[in-house]
Structure 1
Amino acid sequence: MSQAFRNTLLSLRDLIVSAGPLAILAVALVVLAYWWLNPNPPKTVTLATGPAQSAYEEFGKRYQKALAAEGINVLLLASDGSSHNLELLREGKADVAFVQGGTAELQPDDTDELVSLGSLFVEPVWLFYRSDSAERRARSPRIDNLRQLRGWRVNVGSEGSGVPRLMERLLEANKLAPGDVQMSRLDQTPATVKFLAGELDALVFASAPESLMVQMLLQTPGVQLLDFPQHEAYARRFPFLTPVTLPRGVVDLAANVPAGDVRLVASTTSMLAREATHPALLTLFAQNAQKLHGGSGWFNRAREFPNSRHSELPLSKEADRAMNEPVPMLQRYLPFWLANLIERMWLVLGILLAIMLPLSRVVPPLYQFRVRSRVFRWYGRLREIENDMETGKAAPAELLQALDALEAQAEKVSVPLSYADELYALRNHIHLVRKKLLRT
């Protein structure tokens, strides 16, 4: 091994030993901050959707595809509907869920455990009825009032959908007792089969127009959609309802479906999440909600959704930023996981840098001390030899032999070139003591 290479290794060793404790402290603090902040989200999240072929299921698949691009696996949890989704959130079986306003009673603990990611879309109350049933029971092919449903066989959806509770409130407002309407609680598919077979007079859905069932029934001959002439009054009586209008021809312009404007009442569906859900996941859902629900639809213009109106729970900080602030600069140029890591760690890293910079000033003096100590420790031995010479404790021959041994040790000392003067000074002082010894 060449002397130059050996000197380099020694200098590197001294530098590592000098700066090592500070580096270990910095790494330990970064690891502790990473553990405390937990910046990277889990790779799997559970989204409670709804029944098969529902709009909730369709939107769930869109979120699943969108988050898969960021490396997040979205597990879609089928449910009976809005009320069931709320229960799944409360029980911790779902992290995020679609919940329709007014279809479930909120509990006092919900405001502490759940947050809203914003209102996503409106879900009209679709009351489809058979024309022949209207002719037979109301003596007219059309009806325009819920009171005309007295004695009808009406399916209001499964219990977990929340629609039964909503219909009970609407019928009660129309002074209809529970027994005045023969209500059944079948799932959408079997209920639709019975409805088309004539075993039911009416069906009630509360769903976005993206629902395949809704779009099919809107274009089925002999099936009518109930018009709500009092939709403004319903919205005044029930704060969670909004008056909306299904424009003429919006379903099929060529076939002019519907043949005229249909007035409806609608509740607003929000995306709710558990407070404990990782903030990065909330950010991803909120940002993708802007893309998936920001377009125009049958009942809204572009960029009307998502919004914070009609929210029955506090809006999360992540959703508020997604709605009111542009996409963070880092996310425009970096993968989401890296941008999220930097955004969540930069403040901590800045604090650590502010702490470590003053402490780093200890490293140069410590390095200097370690290098010089390799030279200075031999001065102690040189002083002993000089004291023995002055007191006469040892014979001159023994002292000369000790000086030769000391000089041989000094020649083996390796120091960086910047400290070579210290080594040459030691050798010069050994020579001076030898000259002094030879004069005696």
Structure 2
Amino acid sequence: MPRIFKFTEFSLRDLLVTVGPMTLLIVLACYVAYRLVDPTPPSHVTLSTGQENSAYEQFGKKYADTLARYGITVTLQPSLGSQENLRRLNDPGSVTDIAFVQSGSTEHDEAERAGLISLGSLFTEPVWLFFRENRIFTQLKELKGRKVNVGPEGTGVPRLFTALLSVNGIEPSDVRLSELEDTPATVALLDGSIDALVFSSAPDSLLVQMLLQTPGIKLFDFSQAEAYSRRFPYLSHVTLPRGIVDLGKDLPSKNYHLIAPTATLVAREDLHPALIDLFVQTATAVHGGAGWFRKQGEFPNASYTEIPVVPEAEKFYREGPPFLQRYMPFWLANFLERMWVVIVALGALFLPLSRIIPPLYVWKVRSRVYRWYGQLRSVEQAIEEVPPARRADVYPAQLKRLAQLEERVNQITIPLSFADELYRLRSNINLVRKRILWLSENAPESDRMSGAA
């Protein structure tokens, strides 16, 4: 039995020698493909949000909590707003990977040159213009000479509000603009330091919720909202319904017409595709429900953005989650979706290899027997080509050589299924020996005498 096991052991060795180079080549090809495809996303990403108590900050926290379930750590990076977020994305030295950006903050060509991509529009963020009850404004031109806070330059509001003033024939210099952040600006409005406060945010903002319920503070009604939306393609006309804030108190007491850009999720074009999928799915979970200004499933979408929307996001909004992600955990589905080309290629490679390897294995095992036939053939040639005068010396030498050859052949270990090859070789060695002995016995007397001399 130990001998049999030893024979079997050598068959495994031959198999490894046969398959080894091809296996190594396939493993190397898989490694190179894995590195090129890079199916595993980084475990950390930086999201630039907005000011304290802003909707961007609130939504950023929801994104971080959701992505943490997939093992992705999201670092929230506070900012002044859209313009600062854009500057961070455009800065190669910035750690920002993705950010909230308001529509209308840049141009299509400029975004393409900067290598920016949009993951879609997330929600509308109306322009909220609040003022004290003792100063009633019905048109923007009535703001001439008034002190209005539009926020720091890093937000998207100064650029937007300047555009709104211009279509009303008002120069920025006609209005006393201040640049306080939203929280201190709210305090300034309440104590009368400023006449009006304007910012753009989703109604989820804590400041919006508070101001809508603060006595003595009124909301500006954009009665020409539809006209504004026609003049500025990135703006839409939305209505704040009566009673939406508090039905019992009837707040607000009437419908308000508002103009609203949309918040978009913008990233650098080198953002890992798996992270794009995760952020798009998270956006759908966070913003997909009904709200003050949206119907169920209306957001997120691929509209209302001047920044090119990445194809993966467009496909998701149009068709829903990829097929595999509907039935598999994200990591497994993502791996298969990104590696399917490699898997198919390996399958196509394996089929012909499965036909080549068995014959190669057989050849490898038999070659350990066949290579001795070369030496056996050289013995035959030696006895056939020897001149008569040297036969008496050559025949004994070749018999000795055959004995050595037979001894070495007897040391060969070979799988039992190929034992007939070994026995055939030994039979052929014995056949050549018999032939030499016959030639020796039947050699002419003169040949033997010359050999003795």
Query: Which TM-score band applies after superposition, normalised by the shorter structure?
Result: over 0.9
SS at 2:154 equivalent: helix
> Structure 1 pair 199/5, CA: closer, same or farther in 2 (3 Å)?
same
Corresponding residue for residue 159 of structure 1: 153
Distance 2:394 2:112 in 1: 93
TM-superposed CA distance for 1:385, in Å, is: 3.7
Determine which of 286, 293, 300 is the counterpart of 1:299: 293
Corresponding residue for residue 369 of structure 1: 363
Amino acid at match of 2:430: H
- Kept after mapping to 2: 8 A contact 1:388/1:394: no
Q: Deviations over 1:233-265 (max 9, x none)?
A: 211222221111111111111221111111111
Distance 2:103 2:405 in 1: 90
TM-superposed CA distance for 1:299, in Å, is: 0.7
> Structure 1 pair 189/86, CA: closer, same or farther in 2 (3 Å)?
same
> Structure 1 pair 437/186, CA: closer, same or farther in 2 (3 Å)?
same
SS at 1:117 equivalent: strand
Q: Deviations over 1:170-205 (max 9, x none)?
A: 122222232332110110111112111221121111
Corresponding residue for residue 107 of structure 2: 106
Amino acid at match of 2:44: T
Distance 1:57 1:377 in 2: 78
Q: TM-score, normalised by structure 2?
A: 0.90
TM-superposed CA distance for 1:318, in Å, is: 1.3
TM-superposed CA distance for 1:56, in Å, is: 0.5
- Kept after mapping to 1: 8 A contact 2:108/2:308: no
Q: How does 1:387-398 map to 2 (within 5 A)?
A: 387-389=381-383, 391=386, 392=391, 394=393, 398=397
Distance 1:413 1:335 in 2: 54
Provide the identity percentage.
52
TM-superposed CA distance for 1:389, in Å, is: 4.8
TM-superposed CA distance for 1:17, in Å, is: 1.2
CA RMSD of aligned residues (A): 2.0
Corresponding residue for residue 432 of structure 2: 433
Q: Deviations over 1:254-311 (max 9, x none)?
A: 2211111111111111111111111111111112111111100001110111112212
- Kept after mapping to 2: 8 A contact 1:29/1:352: no
- Kept after mapping to 2: 8 A contact 1:246/1:299: yes
SS at 1:281 equivalent: helix
SS at 2:308 equivalent: coil
Corresponding residue for residue 130 of structure 1: 132
Corresponding residue for residue 97 of structure 1: 99
TM-superposed CA distance for 1:342, in Å, is: 1.2
Amino acid at match of 2:368: R
Distance 2:293 2:158 in 1: 23
- Kept after mapping to 2: 8 A contact 1:157/1:187: yes
Corresponding residue for residue 69 of structure 2: 69
TM-superposed CA distance for 1:210, in Å, is: 0.5
SS at 1:160 equivalent: coil
Distance 1:359 1:281 in 2: 37
* 2:243 equivalent to 1:249: yes
Distance 1:106 1:233 in 2: 21
Distance 1:345 1:414 in 2: 44
Corresponding residue for residue 409 of structure 2: 410
> Structure 1 pair 399/180, CA: closer, same or farther in 2 (3 Å)?
closer
Distance 1:40 1:374 in 2: 46
SS at 1:40 equivalent: coil
TM-superposed CA distance for 1:356, in Å, is: 4.7
Amino acid at match of 1:239: P
SS at 2:246 equivalent: coil
> Structure 1 pair 432/10, CA: closer, same or farther in 2 (3 Å)?
same
Amino acid at match of 2:59: F
Corresponding residue for residue 316 of structure 2: 322
Determine which of 209, 218, 228 is the counterpart of 1:224: 218
Q: Deviations over 1:339-365 (max 9, x none)?
A: 212111111231243245335544333
SS at 2:119 equivalent: strand
Distance 1:155 1:244 in 2: 23
SS at 2:410 equivalent: helix
Q: Deviations over 1:300-341 (max 9, x none)?
A: 110111112212122111101210123223223433222212
Distance 1:71 1:234 in 2: 44
- Kept after mapping to 1: 8 A contact 2:107/2:307: no
SS at 2:275 equivalent: helix
Distance 1:233 1:377 in 2: 93
- Kept after mapping to 1: 8 A contact 2:280/2:313: yes
Corresponding residue for residue 4 of structure 1: 4
TM-superposed CA distance for 1:124, in Å, is: 0.6
- Kept after mapping to 1: 8 A contact 2:150/2:158: yes
Amino acid at match of 1:382: L
TM-superposed CA distance for 1:117, in Å, is: 1.0
Greater Cα shift, 175-184 or 396-405:
396-405
Distance 1:400 1:415 in 2: 26
Distance 2:279 2:378 in 1: 77
Distance 1:165 1:395 in 2: 107
Distance 1:389 1:125 in 2: 108
Q: TM-score, normalised by structure 1?
A: 0.92
- Kept after mapping to 2: 8 A contact 1:22/1:360: no
TM-superposed CA distance for 1:419, in Å, is: 1.4
- Kept after mapping to 1: 8 A contact 2:8/2:416: no
Corresponding residue for residue 448 of structure 2: none
Greater Cα shift, 190-199 or 173-182:
173-182
Distance 1:180 1:407 in 2: 112
Corresponding residue for residue 181 of structure 2: 187
SS at 1:426 equivalent: helix
SS at 1:161 equivalent: coil
Amino acid at match of 1:346: W
Distance 1:363 1:238 in 2: 68
> Structure 1 pair 61/393, CA: closer, same or farther in 2 (3 Å)?
farther
Structure of higher CA gyration radius: 2
Amino acid at match of 2:56: Y
Amino acid at match of 1:374: R
Distance 2:238 2:378 in 1: 102
Distance 1:360 1:394 in 2: 53
* 2:289 equivalent to 1:288: no
> Structure 1 pair 150/383, CA: closer, same or farther in 2 (3 Å)?
closer
SS at 1:47 equivalent: strand
